[in-house]
Homo-oligomer: A and B are copies of this chain.
Amino acid sequence: MSKSGHLFLSPMALYVHKYGGTSMGSIERIQNVAKRVAKWHDAGHQIVVVPSAMSGETNRLLGMAKEIMAQPDGRELDMLASTGEQVSVALLAIALQALGKQAVSYAGWQVPIKTDSAFTKARIRSIDDAKVRKDLNAGKIVIITGFQGVDADGNITTLGRGGSDTSAVAVAAAIKAAECLIYTDVDGVYTTDPRVVSEARRLKTVTFEEMLEMASLGSKVLQIRSVEFAGNYKMPTRVLSSLTDPLTPLAEEAASGTLISFEEDKNMEQATITGIAFSRDEAKITVLGVPDRPGIAYQILGPVADANIEVDMIIQNQSVEGKTDFTFTVPRGEYAKAVEVLNNSVKAHIGAAAINGDTKVSKVSVVGVGMRSHVGIASQMFRTLSEEGVNIQMISTSEIKISVLIDEKYMELAVRALHKAFDLDSAK
């Protein structure tokens, strides 16, 4: 890894550290976070920390509200839930002070981090860096609540679950940090799930677009909105482990994990494919014998969307004698509800012959920006699956991803075969 190596040549750089709820889960863990942050500060860097609420705290708070009322008011939920991060920042400031550091904590409204007024799922509009910059220049470590901000009327808002990642990246962009370090309980992004393929390798770098595809495919390392934010602001973002010894030498820690970068690698030797993603959480539904006329896709999928069911892959067969079959996938947990919607609101209405489906399917994807400049990736993928006797039920493609839907019993086999076929087993 050398891509961002130059950052560490700077005698003093500005970093944002983000720590998840597990890393902040007890007084002892908060003290470990403080040790890690102090180490970076000792090396001469300026540090802003964005911690999550202590693990379990947000659920505890929202649980009390739900005990009172099934659908509490969003404004009050945000007032309630935002306290979790406020507790975290104060405790972390105290832990840093106990180590002899100057540290100051801010709630989102104090920075301020301004958002729209969409309570419980607000979006950041602007971040004022004046106060933070002044503190940093005075030698202080600045700690800012993740997950929250303040709207134009002075109401507390939250960004929704996982919003602390987004806060961290947004703060990093606002203060023009050299890098945003997301400390979490995994040590980076892998070529595929190491529990499925023991040869899976940690990626030293991954592009923003690849990360977006991986995140949307269930590699839940980062909240997808934070990846989008990193992309919008071209903020180099590193995913690394908070489970290592907090006193790990800084140079080693700074090069660990996976860097989400925004320059495509110039190295021609790079692997064409970055990783193999997969999702078990799939179900397939086919509407048979549909009259092939304009608007039919909307007539089928409209009621499904109205029921708040997300549709992923969609294919429509070649029409035969004015009739066609229409197939799509939904999250497995929504399968029963989707079939019910189709039987009640769609089938008779459009004159479909039958509705059938399959909940024993999985999706496997090859992801890589390299495929933009390489032909034959799809054919290599299909050949590999064919050699293993895996039947492909559906296909969808994007510029940097090819996904196939297959029988779930072949999923591990397919992932392993593709991981090997695209040379991901070997060291990069």
A77 CB contacts on chain B under 8 angstroms: 90, 94
The verdict on A72 contacting chain B, using a C-beta distance below 8 Å, is yes
Q: Which of B30, B69, B91 contacts A94 (CB 8 A)?
A: B69
Whether A97 and B79, one on each chain, are in contact in the complex, defined by CB atoms closer than 8 angstroms, is no
Q: Which of A37-45, A104-112, A377-385 lies on the face that meets chain B? A: A104-112
Whether B97 and A73, one on each chain, are in contact in the complex, defined by CB atoms closer than 8 angstroms, is yes
Q: Which of A69, A94, A95, A109 has the most CB of B within 10 A?
A: A94
Cα–Cα distance between A30 and B87 once the two chains are bound (Å): 22
The verdict on A64 contacting chain B, using a C-beta distance below 8 Å, is yes
Whether A65 and B91, one on each chain, are in contact in the complex, defined by CB atoms closer than 8 angstroms, is yes
Q: Please name the residue on chain B nearest to A112 by beta carbon.
A: B154
Looking at the assembled complex, report how far the CB atom of A26 sits from the nearest CB atom of chain B, in whole angstroms: 9
Looking at the assembled complex, report how far the CB atom of A198 sits from the nearest CB atom of chain B, in whole angstroms: 41
Whether A91 and B105, one on each chain, are in contact in the complex, defined by CB atoms closer than 8 angstroms, is no
Q: Please name the residue on chain B nearest to A156 by beta carbon.
A: B107
Looking at the assembled complex, report how far the CB atom of A119 sits from the nearest CB atom of chain B, in whole angstroms: 12
Q: By the criterion of a CB under 8 Å from any partner CB, how many residues of chain A are at the interface?
A: 36
The verdict on A254 contacting chain B, using a C-beta distance below 8 Å, is no
Q: Which of B76, B83, B93, B95 contacts A97 (CB 8 A)?
A: B76
Chain A, range 58-102, C-beta contacts under 8 Å to B: 61, 64-65, 67-69, 72-73, 75-77, 79-80, 82-83, 86-87, 89-91, 93-95, 97-98
Whether B89 and A86, one on each chain, are in contact in the complex, defined by CB atoms closer than 8 angstroms, is no
The verdict on A27 contacting chain B, using a C-beta distance below 8 Å, is yes
The verdict on A329 contacting chain B, using a C-beta distance below 8 Å, is no
Cα–Cα distance between A94 and B70 once the two chains are bound (Å): 10
Whether A31 and B83, one on each chain, are in contact in the complex, defined by CB atoms closer than 8 angstroms, is no
Cα–Cα distance between A64 and B72 once the two chains are bound (Å): 29
Q: Which of B76, B93, B107 contacts A93 (CB 8 A)?
A: B76
A87 CB contacts on chain B under 8 angstroms: 61, 64, 80, 83
Whether B86 and A79, one on each chain, are in contact in the complex, defined by CB atoms closer than 8 angstroms, is yes
Q: Please name the residue on chain B nearest to A28 by beta carbon.
A: B67
Whether A64 and B80, one on each chain, are in contact in the complex, defined by CB atoms closer than 8 angstroms, is no
Cα–Cα distance between A12 and B307 once the two chains are bound (Å): 46
What string of 1s and 0s marks CB contacts (under 8 Å) between A135-163 and chain B? 00000000000000000001110000000
What string of 1s and 0s marks CB contacts (under 8 Å) between A396-409 and chain B? 00000000000000
Q: Which of B75, B83, B105, B156 contacts A104 (CB 8 A)?
A: B75
A89 CB contacts on chain B under 8 angstroms: 79
Q: Which of B31, B65, B107 contacts A79 (CB 8 A)?
A: B107
16 additional A-B pairs beyond A31-B68, A65-B90, A65-B94, beta carbons within 8 Å, are: A27-B64, A27-B67, A30-B68, A64-B91, A65-B91, A68-B94, A68-B95, A69-B98, A79-B90, A79-B93, A80-B86, A80-B90, A80-B91, A83-B83, A83-B87, A86-B86
| Interfacial residues, chain A to chain B (CB-CB below 8 A) | 27, 30-31, 61, 64-65, 67-69, 72-73, 75-77, 79-80, 82-83, 86-87, 89-91, 93-95, 97-98, 104-105, 107, 109-110, 154-156
- Contacts A/B (CB < 8 Å), 16 sampled: A30-B68, A64-B91, A68-B91, A69-B95, A69-B98, A72-B94, A72-B97, A73-B97, A76-B94, A79-B86, A79-B90, A80-B87, A80-B94, A83-B83, A86-B86, A110-B155
